[in-house]
Structure formats: structure tokens, C-alpha cells
Amino acid sequence: MIDRIADIVGAKNVLTGPDLAPYSVDISGMRRAVPLAVARPASTQEVSDLVRLANELRLPVLPVGGRTGLTGGGVGEGALILSFDRMNAIRAIRPEARVAEVEAGAILSDIHDAAEAHDLVFPLTFGARGSARVGGFLGTNAGGSNVLRYGNTRDLVLGIEAVLPTGEIVDLMSGLHKNNSGYDLRHLLIGSEGTLGVITAATLKLMPKPGAYATAMVGMKSMSDALPLLNEVQKATGGLVEAFEYMPDSYVGNYLQLSPSHRLPFEDRHPVNILIEIGALAPRDCIPGDDGAIPVVSYLEDLLGRYLENGLIDDAVVARTEAQRREMWARREAASEIAGLQPVRVTNDVAVPLDLVETFLTRADATLQRVDPGATTSVVAHLGDGNVHYTVWPVTTTEAGKDAIVEAIEDIVIDLGGSFSAEHGIGTIKLGSMARRKDPAALSAMRAIKRALDPNGIMNPGKLLPPSNL
């Protein structure tokens, strides 16, 4: 097998033995599986040849990008791992059409830089942008901080190129905004976590780069005043709010533990801390006046001033410099580091309706103390889209105890009309949740699609779809 793989990509681009160590464990350090080999293809044709060979040999295939996934989907025992670090080209930036054509190994931050050179942005952003690659964030339909304005990954992709489990190449890279010609295979493959095929390239939407940002931290007693603030700013700016992020006081306290250089967002502590950011486009909002003030920043400052006078919020700090803005974002983007302060954790990436986030948190905290007395949490939320990262640091050390925590949290989520998976995907850690919570008819349809496209079951087996006996 190794020799035939080497015939396709060259011996120097096949990793075996000790070189497999980095690919045998996921980013959490808790999920391990030793692959057969790692192949580093340099072209879509090489990917096709590798998948065709794997299908012939019934060899499991696992495509990987930056390996920053959080649900255990990036490791596979005895699998042929396809690493896309050599297929990292940004093939083209077409500024007039506002699209980027990129290979599956292109790094998100490199796409950001390439778009910015044309005064454009690719608006998907999250903490791992310096290592996450196109294939990975398409495979998981990643979210991030700007979903409120721009949508998930699926909303930002106009076309893909992919290799099906048979080795056939599907070219859907045209980048059309309208194409009503049958089933949308693009959307089927995005979010499939490598279980239906291998995405090798994509045509991404680019957006105009905001001419100015208005960014602020807001402190308040409860979340009940948060959504009215969001809705007022959205209405006044015509929907220009890019981020509306929630951090409770406990999260801020955990952030201070990471480094002695970290500072509080305000002089005083507040139960609720909101990071709000507006991205303005119109010159009237972006060009500084005679006094040097940027209009959109002044608007946000005036609005927050009125909220302070009316007692609707307790404190506010508006960023005056880019350094202050970056400091605010650094606090929010430290969520993964904060979650890692304790060696054992139970992650819950859930979504509930926007107006029920506070209800969810209240019920979840009370339920947690019944299920695992003494457990603590690290909570952060994309409040503008209802996505809550409810990380539990349990007292229990048993797998059964940790499963009980997950099920109890999911009970609340489902009761509120939410989803047990918001933006991280399913992988292996949420297979039980899929079996328990996903509509049976929907699961049956998904399994039928999997069998139709991948009858030999070679594509990232054991991920996303639970076994029928679960």
C-alpha cells in the first residue's frame, strides 16, 4: 500500500513511522488514533488517484487541514490521511467579481491578507485563523465571530471542487450567485466533515472592507438589556453590527489567570460583559471630521452614553485606537486557552433562540449543580446568533458522569428549540448526541446519502453519522 501511495505523490511526500506522531492525536490531546500513513498531494489529480486507490483497497481516507477541529474528526486508526499543506495556493483574487479561488490547504489568515490587498475582506474569522485551512473550515461549516452579519461558511462559498469516493473529480467552481440546476452538491459537501468526499478547492465570496470600525466593551447587570441594545444599533446602522459577544464575569476572571499582563475591561467588575463591533462602509460614517472624530465611533459613543444615562447599562469603553480594539478582541479570543486551564473539561457547543440565551444559562447552571455538584464553567457566547460555548470543568472523573452532564445540558437545549451542535461539527464526540437527538427520518436520509456516494464506506468512517445500533 505504501509503495503504491508513494508512486502517486512521491516517496518524500509519504509520512510513516515516527513522522505520524503529530497526526495521531487531535488538538485536545485526548483523542488518539494511529493512521497507516500520511500522503501530501500537490494537485487535485493526485488526490483523485489516491482516493481511487483507497476505494480499490477499501482503505479509510481522512482529509485534514490545520488540524484545529474540536470534535475528534481529524484522527483515524489505520487511515490514509490526506494532508493539504502542499495544496495551499490562492489561485486568484477577482476583485471586480469579489471572489477568491483558493485550494483546500490555503490558510485562513493568508486569504485575509490577500483580500485586504484589494481593499476587500473574507469575513469568516475565529481564533485559529492562523492555522485553519479551507478544507477544514468548509468540512465543518465553521462559524466564528462575524456570523451575525455575514453568515456561516456555507453562506460564503459560491463554488467548490471536490473528489468523490470513487475518485471522480467534480468541478463546481464557477462561482455563480444563481445556479438552479438540480441538487446543490456544494452545500451537501460543506459541513459533511470529509464523510462524502474530499474538497480540494473553493470559490469564496469577498466583501468590501469596512472603512472604519467602532468597537466597545459594555458592562451590565443582566442580559435582558443586551438584545434591545443590539436591535437598536442594527436598525440605526442598517445591519452593520459584525459582532455581539457575551462574556460573563467568571470568564473575565478566568482570563486574568492566563497572564499577569491581562487587564479588566472596566475599573469595576460587571456580571455581563458585551463586546460589540460595527463595521462601517459609507464615507459619511468613516471619514474623520474636523475634530478628528470618526462618525461611526462617535455614534456608538453617543448611543452608549444615552444608555448609561437611562440606567440600561452600567459601564462602557469605546476603543479609540487599533491597539485598544485588538486588546478587546484578544480577551474574547482567549476562550480556548481559558477552557484549557483545567485538564478535564466537557464542551458544549450549542445554539438556542437569541431571546432564550439567558434562560438557557440560568437553567444550565442550576441543572449542572444537581448533576455534578461543585462543577464550574467557562462560558462565552456569540450572543448575536445564539451560539453558546458552555464548557464545564467537572468534579466527576468518570465517562458516565461526563456523559450525564452532556445529556442534561442537551435536554435544556432541545426543550428550548435549540441545537446540540452550533459550529464545531459532530466528529466522534457528538455521535451519541446525534443518535439521541437528531430526527430519525433525517438520520435515515443522511445514511442513505452516505451509502449512495460512498458504498464502500472509506470516507472518514466513524465520524458524523452514528452507527445504527447507537
* pLDDT tens, position by position, 103-160: 999 999 999 999 999 999 999 998 889 999 999 999 999 999 999 999 999 999 999 9
Q: Are 426 and 392 in contact, with CB atoms under 8 Å apart?
A: no
Phi, psi of 195 (to 5 degrees): -90, -10
Q: How confident is the model over 291-307, as a mean pLDDT?
A: 95
What number does CATH give the domain 90-208? 3.30.465.10
Q: Which residues pair with 235 in a beta bridge?
A: none
Q: Which CATH class is domain 342-424?
A: alpha beta
- Annotated domain spans of the chain: 2-83, 90-208, 212-330, 342-424
Residue 376 has pLDDT above 70, yes or no: yes
Banded pLDDT at 340 (limits 50, 70, 90): confident
CA atoms within a 13 Å half-sphere pointing along the CA-CB vector of 204: 32
For residue 230, the SS3 value is helix
Give CB contacts under 8 A, 24+ apart, made by 122-130. 122/156, 122/204, 122/205, 122/206, 122/207, 123/149, 123/150, 123/156, 123/207, 123/242, 124/150, 124/153, 124/156, 126/333, 127/333, 127/334, 127/335, 127/336, 128/66, 128/68, 128/336
Residue 247 has pLDDT above 80, yes or no: yes
pLDDT for position 69: 85
Which of 3.30.1490.100, 1.20.1050.90, 3.90.230.10, 3.30.43.10 is the CATH number of 2-83?
3.30.43.10
Architecture per CATH, 212-330: 2-Layer Sandwich (3.30)
Place of cell 490545520: 66
Of 403, 393, 361, the closest CA to residue 380 belongs to 361
Residue 470 has pLDDT above 80, yes or no: no
Phi-psi region of 34 (alpha: psi -120 to 50; beta: other; left: phi over 0): beta
CA atoms within a 13 Å half-sphere pointing along the CA-CB vector of 81: 30
